[in-house]
Structure 1
Amino acid sequence: MKKSGIVLFLLTALFLCQSAQSQPAPGLNRAVRVFIDAPGIDITFLREEFRYVNYARTRDAANVHLLGTVSQTGSGGSDYTFYFIGLHEFSGKSDTLHYFSSGTQTDTEVREGYTKAIKMGLVRYLAHAEQWVDLQFNGKAAVKALPEKDKWDSWVFDIDLTSRISGEEAERQTDFDISVESTRITPEWRYEFDFDNQYDEDWYDTGEDEVIATRNFRQFESLVVKSIGEHMAVGMQSGISRSSYDNIKLNYWFFPAIEYNLFPYELSSRRQLRFSYFLGYNGRQYEDTTIFNKIDEDLFRGKFAIAYRVKEEWGSAYTTISFQNYFHDFNKNSLSVWSGVYVRVWRGLSLNLSGNYSLINDRLSLEKGEASLEEILLQQRQMATAYRYQINMGLSFTFGSLFNNVVNPRLKG
């Protein structure tokens, strides 16, 4: 009986010793597991360039959540903001890093730039996990100082020319678009000037006749905005346009506006709740007499909008509600709602819902008379409608290996 007790004691002690040896010391072998939640990031390239962490397929399996947002800068580039959020054993260890790209950089240069920023953000967690990596620094400054004087005075110009011709034996489509954009963005002011010209031509051979349908749209628009503090802005929107589809020969407008953002503008990439109101004059001349027997008219209208956007660890959501009306007849109005949500429900299960709905009672430019079947099918003429809607729904579920850092592009195309 005594011998059996001694044997049991020795076996228990041996088991406890082996268990203690198999347990890692505090802080050791805590692999950094990263869940990437950043639009526009080349995750495959990141995996190839930085193999010191595990890339988790779901947030639940990660101990670092990389939440990223992208905003356009005044130079035509982008501000990549990366929020490193510590989870589980890294809870409370969070950082925010920025990478600014310029409008003249190639996609490859931008990709290398934000990848370096992500590497720098992850090194902290590797250090806390006591995972030592071979980091090499060449001593060169990664960030260049801004020049004392900008010869362009913050102005950026963008010219786009696009043409497309496609067809078959009995049909042909020709599109030609040109756009010129100039912007100047500073902390205090924002200037935007845009010119667009779109020309579309469709040709059909029915065997008996040739049918040619053309659509032309031209517009020049300007926007000047003055910042007032961290939450408010005032501005002026004006422009002139012409649209054959809308039966508009000449359309010109100017609208003073005011906006208030519940959150500081510096947080707009993560969250914003904006209230804006436009009030002004709109003059019109029509190609043909409208259903209201107008060939031209002077209009005054207002527009009120609420926009909410948020991006958090659970996903993202947005909602925009706008209402506009003409003052000569308050029954001539429209109400539009755009909304969407992307939610990580559970592990690899994600839900994506979006849609928009509009009540339309303000199409004042509708051409008088019945539209022919040809005009309807060839989209030559705008039609009357009381509403417009669109609904998008998506559900995705992934399961299997939580970590797979292998990159194998063979025969991928």
Structure 2
Amino acid sequence: MDFIRTEITAVDFYRDNQKADVFLLINTNRSGGGGRQYQLIFSGQQNIHKGRADTLYVNNKQTDTDFEVREKLTRFIKLGLAPFVAKTIAGEEVEINMKTDSDMLEDTLQESVDPWNYWVFNMGSDANIELEELSSEINFGGDININRITDKWKISLSGRIDERLRRTIQKEPRVDDNGDPVLDGDGNQIIDEVVNNFDVSEFGFSHQLVKAISPQWSYGYDITGRQNTRFNYKFQASFRPAVEYNFFPEAVQNSRFLRVNYGVEVRNNNYVEETIYGALDETRVLHSLRASLGLNQRWGNLEVGYRFRNYLDDFNFWSTGLNIRAEVRITGNFSFYVRAEGNYVKDQIYLASGDFTEQDILSGRVTLPSAYNIDTRFGFNYRFGSNLNNFVNRRFFGRANFVGND
């Protein structure tokens, strides 16, 4: 926001959007090429601008840097504001450059014919290392993604592998068989170091194919495979054909959507440890219903998701869940947000039998039985004072990007 305010000085940016002459709503969606598409909705609210509206779209490539994204976004915001500014006194001082680089035009013409036929390939890896005196943790992984997305088709293939290596050192005073301390030559109790090593491996792949048969109906399938030792899966493979209905056409998906998805899934589970139900390998069939609602309006944004599933061979195994994400502006100065997810679980068929050590549990190597899980975060914000302070001053900004303790 600081960059936009410093680049666009012909207008004042109001903290209270209800008092502004022009309201700008920015929606974003990921495009088929891996980049992002921004939808800019300009709405005149007051004075001579009331009732005037316009919408622009900004497409960014996956390879664009943050600077390139914000520079292009700012340029389109300028274009969208130009008709509004032209009707004010400030328009007399604004200069618009309508020249375009010939090389840019040539690149645009070349891009209209795609030699890749909309296929996009992406490979990457990442690592995280944390070191302390008595513990260390190393996480590393890699992934590959291949997709082709058009208005009618959605095809994707992906794979991911992760490895987590954790090492802890516990210092324990040495005692003899009678429980008495063991001393060294100087009379000090000997301290032993007990080293614990933990290794958690995960890998998985997925393939999805979706075909649109109307602006609101689509069908397709998902194929997945994964290893997850924390959930006792040596390997799990699944196939889920499904149909989906969107109550709103895809043309307005940036602003609102309500999708209902139903599918039947076949799962083959191969377990690391025998489960509490006595299984080491099993194939189960289940069905699931998923619904998602999304609204992105001037008052804020709201996303609600719901799911229900149960195994068809035993209706006693089922689960349901609800999640809500909302950022709502009640007035121009008062807003609140909420992130909440809750699940009621009665289908933990993967739970391993047997006893586990405290270290197994604390390190996250195993999953404990639980009938439910809830995760919430919420808050509010009230701002008052000047609505016209557009100065940007970044002196003494931040903590030099350090995340630890000063």
Q: What TM-score results when the alignment is normalised by the length of structure 2?
A: 0.89
- 1:262 and 2:223 correspond: no
Deviations along 1:157-180, one digit per CA (max 9) or x if unpaired, are 111211122212221101111111
Instruction: State whether residues 261 and 274 of structure 1, in contact with CA within 8 Å, keep that contact through their aligned partners in structure 2.
Output: yes
Match of 1:352 in 2: 337
Give the structure with higher Rg (CA): 1
Deviations along 1:229-284, one digit per CA (max 9) or x if unpaired, are 11111111002111111111121111101110000112111100000012121111
Q: Letter of the aligned partner of 2:138 in structure 1?
A: T
Instruction: State whether residues 77 and 101 of structure 1, in contact with CA within 8 Å, keep that contact through their aligned partners in structure 2.
Output: yes
Report sequence identity in percent. 27
Give how far 1:149 is off: 3.3
SS in 1 for 2:2: helix
Instruction: State whether residues 235 and 257 of structure 1, in contact with CA within 8 Å, keep that contact through their aligned partners in structure 2.
Output: yes
Match of 1:321 in 2: 306
- 1:86 and 2:44 correspond: yes
After TM superposition, the structure 1 = structure 2 runs for residues 331-370 of structure 1, keeping only pairs within 5 Å, are 331-370=316-355
**Alignment counterpart, residue 3 of structure 2, candidates 29, 45, 61:** 45
CA distance in 2, matches of 1:98, 1:241: 38
Instruction: State whether residues 180 and 196 of structure 1, in contact with CA within 8 Å, keep that contact through their aligned partners in structure 2.
Output: yes
- 1:240 and 2:204 correspond: no
Give how far 1:146 is off: 5.4
Give how far 1:148 is off: 4.9
**Alignment counterpart, residue 390 of structure 1, candidates 356, 362, 375:** 375
- 1:201 and 2:162 correspond: no
SS in 2 for 1:123: helix
Q: Letter of the aligned partner of 1:66 in structure 2?
A: L
Match of 2:132 in 1: 168
Deviations along 1:359-398, one digit per CA (max 9) or x if unpaired, are 0111111001233222111111011000000121111011
Q: Letter of the aligned partner of 1:271 in structure 2?
A: R
CA distance in 2, matches of 1:146, 1:66: 32
CA distance in 1, matches of 2:382, 2:350: 47
**Alignment counterpart, residue 153 of structure 1, candidates 117, 121, 132:** 117
Match of 1:95 in 2: 54
SS in 1 for 2:279: coil
Q: Letter of the aligned partner of 1:138 in structure 2?
A: K
- 1:113 and 2:113 correspond: no
Deviations along 1:138-167, one digit per CA (max 9) or x if unpaired, are 244776235353222111111121112221
After TM superposition, the structure 1 = structure 2 runs for residues 102-141 of structure 1, keeping only pairs within 5 Å, are 102-132=61-91, 133-140=94-101
Instruction: State whether residues 61 and 402 of structure 1, in contact with CA within 8 Å, keep that contact through their aligned partners in structure 2.
Output: no
Q: What TM-score results when the alignment is normalised by the length of structure 1?
A: 0.87
After TM superposition, the structure 1 = structure 2 runs for residues 48-67 of structure 1, keeping only pairs within 5 Å, are 48-67=6-25
CA distance in 2, matches of 1:222, 1:263: 26
RMSD over aligned CA atoms reads 1.4
Instruction: State whether residues 195 and 218 of structure 1, in contact with CA within 8 Å, keep that contact through their aligned partners in structure 2.
Output: yes
Q: Letter of the aligned partner of 1:356 in structure 2?
A: E
Match of 1:21 in 2: none
Structure 2, unpaired ranges of 5+: 172-192, 399-406
Match of 1:378 in 2: 363
CA distance in 2, matches of 1:215, 1:329: 31
Of 129-138 and 231-240, the range deviating more from structure 2: 129-138
Q: Letter of the aligned partner of 1:361 in structure 2?
A: K
Deviations along 1:79-100, one digit per CA (max 9) or x if unpaired, are 0100001102222101000010
Instruction: State whether residues 360 and 386 of structure 1, in contact with CA within 8 Å, keep that contact through their aligned partners in structure 2.
Output: yes
SS in 1 for 2:73: helix
**Alignment counterpart, residue 277 of structure 1, candidates 262, 275, 278:** 262
CA distance in 2, matches of 1:396, 1:304: 36
Match of 2:148 in 1: 184
Give how far 1:340 is off: 2.4
Structure 1, unpaired ranges of 5+: 1-42
SS in 2 for 1:122: helix
Instruction: State whether residues 263 and 273 of structure 1, in contact with CA within 8 Å, keep that contact through their aligned partners in structure 2.
Output: yes
